[in-house]
Amino acid sequence: MKEVTVPEKCTGCGACYNICPSAAIEMKENNEGFLFPVINQEKCTDCGLCAKTCFVSKPKNFPSETPDKVYALSASDEIREKSSSGGIFTLIAEYIISSGGYVCGAAFSDDFLKVEHILINKMEDLHRLQTSKYVQSNTGNIYKKIKELLQNDFPVFFTGTPCQVEGLNRYLNKKYDNLFTADILCHGVPSSKVWAKYLEEISRGKRISSVNFRDKTNGWKSPLLLTIQYEDGTCLSEHSKENLYYKSFLQNINLRQSCASCEFTNLKRAADITLGDFWKIDRYNKKFNDKKGVSLVLVNSSKGQSLLQNIKSKLKACNEVPVKYAIRGNSVLVKPHKLNKNRDTFFIQAGNKTVCEAILNSLDDKYDGVIANLWDCNYNYGAILTAYALQQFFKDKNLDFRILNCNPKKNSKKYRHSFVKKFADKNLILTNYIKNPKALQELNYSAETFVVGSDQVFKDHCMKKYFNQFLLPYTDFSKKRIAFSASFGKENFDADDKDKYVISKYLKRFDGISVRETSGVELCKREFGVRAEHILDPVFLTKRENFLKFVDKNNTKYQDKIVCMFLDSSEKIKNSVKKLSQDLSAEVVNITGKNLPVEEFLTAIYSSKYFVTDSFHGTCFGILFHKNFVTLRNEDRGNARFDSLIQTFGLKDCFVTSPENITPPVFNQSIDWNSIENIISKEKEKANLWVENILNNPHPYGVIENEFDIQKYAKYKLFKNTWAFFSITKNNVRTTIQILGIKFKIKRK
């Protein structure tokens, strides 16, 4: 799908929507409740006006110089009583209307569930534009209406966020002497969907008569006061330190993603004047603050200066102040606010919980579940992408699962510069860094469900090295435990009987176990006495679009080429690939060991004409992207996973046992991709039913009797360099066995 701009940077200003001559662009809410432009390909004429108008990643229309002084201004007490701060907007609006002009600003809809930009030209309507609305406003087709007024010589005063002002400027693409603009010092814009849902939750069917985010009943000060009046005469009135919606706004939980990279958070402004609260004005002069509101005003152009001159006679106070004092109370003059670390998880939770619950959970760092896997293995595409896929699988269900962040090498130089970290920083939602047993145990407070998987988390050496992570010994009995598409990597499990006995005790605590390879089902039963289900790797179970968004379709580096990726290369393999290149008359691009960014790794497979690999996940993406591929079975790394893919998809001819078999005839076979897609669809349905059955059914444990033999294993060194907790009940006394390396302690609770 063609996009106007990068979604992560889109501000939703609406300039592209207004400029489109064929009405091919529609502003649609995403799942978070923010408006984004969507192009109707049938109507689009490829005129390019939308891209030309969009200001993202293009030079902004900023003045060349920054001010060294700002203004602290106050209107009359009567005006300030109805205004958020010093009432300067009202004075300018009155001046424009009295001059026969129009004022454009943000107003609540009749039911107060949404905010939209409207035009007024009557004094009696001015109250609709007064006071702050901490919700993103929909500009609709307001830019078109403003252009018509300007062309008919009406003065227009437009107010909005800096990106909305810049959107108007780009849409008009021309200077109008009768246009005056003001931008606000913007904290960031919250979701209108979240606001509407919150309002409905707290109102419980009562009709609203007014909403005031900046009620000055107790004066102009922090904390701010939100007052919601109802038609039945009741009201809700809460300070910003008490009100949940206010908390989510001020702690940057419900803001638009692009706000974190806002390019308007500086002293070079898009509008003629800038308006805000002059917080901390007392630090310059206490006499300037009479507790009724002081406006911070930046004059950015000659038209801004003329506006100030025209209202000066009606000001109660007008003082010049050094700009550094403005910055002290308004940090957005120099940098944007950082999004809350729980911002993404808040929007996930808001999809299946109440907004109030989602806010509380975000503030308290609570989420639906934890996923433990090998995502942080250095230079491992499969590990990071299957972790991403599993998190997306739960996200598709509106469930907030975080990936366990427990890598002791996290701060190493090698890790800091790896593609794994770069991808994780952008695309994975992690728990706080877990650095000791206590922090691991505290996850019981944050989550109700713990998932292990996917990838080779059940491989024998991983079970020993990461015992404390992958067998979930730290989890309380009341928690749900799931092994999701976990892999043993091979058909057998190399461990002695004592190891297997202890592992089996932990596996029997799981509510559900699924394995990635069909051979793992029998292995679980034979070695550990537990029942397991076969579930495909998560890369097949989430939406394909979750991977396609990383693919650069304009990258021609790999098109019409043979792309090779071998975990274990050899001279025989190199010679076979070289001959293949000659036979197919296609250039070879070897991405083995190149440490490409994850996005380029996916692009290489997607864009290739032929794909040759010995990688399991490389094969998975070859199937997902419908590529002409050949996989060399890798005996040393385990063939069970390849056998499982063959059994599931019936692609036996795409797998070869020796480099000599990598020949053109293997690529000439016809693959029925419709049949493959039907198989994937059925496997998705199977996985969804399996996990939903576990999540929705009551937890079977509670307090249980466990058969762990304390006397027999009290002196047993479980695994070297591990720490774990195992809760049992014996003689009605709750006991925790704690294993720390070679130390063994019994603590009574």
Lowest mean pLDDT among 31-35, 286-290, 494-498, 523-527: 494-498
The whole-angstrom separation of Cα 666 and Cα 632 is: 12
DSSP-based three-state secondary structure for 720: coil
The encoded tokens of residue 389 equal: 């896929």
Which one, of 479, 478, 457, 482, lies nearest residue 467 by Cα? 457
The whole-angstrom separation of Cα 29 and Cα 50 is: 18
pLDDT at residue number 593: 83
For the chain, how many residues are written? 749
pLDDT at residue number 419: 83
Distances (CA, A) of 320 to 77, 289, 290, 309: 20, 14, 17, 14
pLDDT at residue number 734: 42
List CB contacts of 78: < 8 A, sequence separation 6 or more. none
pLDDT at residue number 92: 97
Which one, of 101, 93, 98, 104, lies nearest residue 152 by Cα? 101
Is the pLDDT at 281 greater than 60, yes or no? yes
Residue 732 banded pLDDT, cuts 50, 70, 90: very low
Residue 410 banded pLDDT, cuts 50, 70, 90: low
pLDDT at residue number 439: 86
Ranges assigned E (strand) in 175-270 = 179-184, 208-212, 225-230, 235-239
Cis status, amide bond into 585, omega within 30 of 0: no
Q: What average pLDDT does range 301-318 have in this prediction? A: 95
pLDDT at residue number 724: 44
Residue 712 banded pLDDT, cuts 50, 70, 90: very low
Is the pLDDT at 9 greater than 50, yes or no? yes
pLDDT at residue number 700: 55
Q: Which residues pair with 486 in a beta bridge?
A: 455, 515
Residue 728 banded pLDDT, cuts 50, 70, 90: very low
Q: What is the dihedral of CA 175, 177, 182, 188, to 10 degrees?
A: -20
- Structure-model confidence comparison of residues 406 and 195, the more confident one: 195
pLDDT at residue number 122: 96
Distances (CA, A) of 218 to 223, 291, 648, 713: 10, 9, 68, 66
Residue 108 banded pLDDT, cuts 50, 70, 90: very high
Tell me the percentage of the chain whose pLDDT exceeds 70: 91
- Structure-model confidence comparison of residues 394 and 505, the more confident one: 394
- The predicted model scores a pTM of 0.80
State CA 18 to chain mean position distance.
28
The encoded tokens of residue 285 equal: 């002069």
pLDDT at residue number 708: 43
The encoded tokens of residue 712 equal: 């027999």
Look up residue 524 and give its DSSP letter: I
Distances (CA, A) of 679 to 393, 515, 541, 618: 18, 18, 11, 19
Look up residue 7 and give its DSSP letter: T
pLDDT at residue number 290: 93
The encoded tokens of residue 419 equal: 């593609």
The whole-angstrom separation of Cα 676 and Cα 92 is: 65
Is the pLDDT at 1 greater than 60, yes or no? no
Tell me the percentage of the chain whose pLDDT exceeds 90: 69
Is the pLDDT at 739 greater than 50, yes or no? no
Distance separating the N- and C-terminal Cα atoms of the chain:
58
Q: Is residue 198 exposed (0-12), middle (13-18) or buried (19+ Cβ within 10 Å)?
A: buried
Q: What tens digit of pLDDT does each residue of 350-401 get?
A: 988 999 999 999 999 999 999 999 998 777 899 999 999 999 999 999 899 9
pLDDT at residue number 735: 44
pLDDT at residue number 701: 46
pLDDT at residue number 636: 73
Q: What tens digit of pLDDT does each residue of 562-620 get?
A: 999 998 888 898 898 899 899 889 999 999 888 899 999 999 999 999 999 999 999 99
Q: What is the dihedral of CA 719, 721, 725, 731, to 10 degrees?
A: 50
Which one, of 166, 139, 117, lies nearest residue 27 by Cα? 139
Q: What average pLDDT does range 221-234 have in this prediction? A: 93
Residue 413 banded pLDDT, cuts 50, 70, 90: low
Q: What average pLDDT does range 23-52 have in this prediction? A: 93
Is the pLDDT at 124 greater than 60, yes or no? yes
Please, what is the average pLDDT of the chain?
88
Is the pLDDT at 670 greater than 90, yes or no? no
Mapping DSSP onto H, E and C, the string for 301-360 reads CHHHHHHHHHHHHHCCEEEEEEHHHHHHHCHHHCCCCCCCCCHHHHHHHHCCCCHHHHHH
Q: Which of 4-13, 135-144, 493-502 has the highest mean pLDDT?
A: 135-144
Lowest mean pLDDT among 123-127, 316-320, 377-381, 536-540: 377-381
Q: What average pLDDT does range 63-83 have in this prediction? A: 88
Is the Cβ–Cβ distance between 184 and 161 less than 8 Å?
yes
Q: What average pLDDT does range 684-708 have in this prediction? A: 73
Q: What average pLDDT does range 231-240 have in this prediction? A: 94
The encoded tokens of residue 172 equal: 């008009």
Complete domains list, the chain, with CATH: 62-185+263-335 (3.40.640), 367-540 (3.40.50.2000), 545-671 (3.40.50.2000), 710-748 (no CATH)
- Please give the order of strands across the beta sheet that includes 449-452: 401-403, 369-372, 449-452, 480-486, 512-515, 533-534
Ranges assigned E (strand) in 399-552 = 401-403, 449-452, 480-486, 512-515, 533-534
The whole-angstrom separation of Cα 647 and Cα 649 is: 6
For residue 496, how many other CB atoms are within 10 A of its CB? 7
List CB contacts of 421: < 8 A, sequence separation 6 or more. 415
- Structure-model confidence comparison of residues 319 and 58, the more confident one: 319
Look up residue 527 and give its DSSP letter: I
What does the DSSP assignment read for 455-471? BSTTSHHHHHHTHHHHS
Q: Is residue 492 exposed (0-12), middle (13-18) or buried (19+ Cβ within 10 Å)?
A: middle
DSSP-based three-state secondary structure for 70: strand
Is the Cβ–Cβ distance between 703 and 476 less than 8 Å?
no
pLDDT at residue number 465: 80
